Amino acid sequence: MLTAVLLQAATSPRSYFDYGFGRFLVSPGAGGLAVLVAAIITGAIAIWAARRVSRDAQARLGLDRESARQARWWETLRWTYDRATDARAEARLKPDVVMSLVDALGDQAQTDTELAAAISVLDSLDDERDAR
């Protein structure tokens, strides 16, 4: 029986690829479909990579902005302290102006270190004022 089936398959002019989906697999349409699927996969990978690069760039930009904010904050604190303790009386800021500037810097502090620095400056200025 098996021999008859094999003999019929071998002598039959039609094979599996001559019917339905098998016929499509050997047609030019299958090649076109493969190209389309490859293009969709490639496009999806490109979109994913672009989003990742964009997200990384935004994260770096956020870090750059934070670094710039911190640098401005420290420079302002240094400037305020230098003007509060200037040896020349005419260059020295009034104590109420200094206190309000340092208090505003304390309000703007976003890290514990910044807040501690603002408090330390206020304490040292209070100590200097008490010593006078």
15 φ, ψ to 5°? -125, -175
Complete DSSP assignment for 75-127: HHHHHHHHHHS-SSGGGSPPHHHHHHHHHHHHHH--SHHHHHHHHHHHHHHHH
Walk along the chain (132 residues) and give the pLDDT tens digit of each residue: 656 655 555 555 566 556 677 777 778 888 899 999 999 999 999 999 999 998 888 888 877 888 888 999 999 999 988 888 877 777 778 888 888 888 888 888 888 998 898 888 888 877 666 665
Q: Helices 95-108 and 28-84 sit at what angle, rounded to 10 degrees?
A: 160
Task: State how far the Cα of 63 lies from the Cα of 16, in Å rounded to an integer.
Answer: 62
Q: From CA 43, how far away is CA 37, in angstroms rounded?
A: 10
Nearest to 83 by CA among 64, 98, 66: 98
CA 77 to chain centre: 29
pLDDT at 47: 93
Domain limits, the chain: 19-131
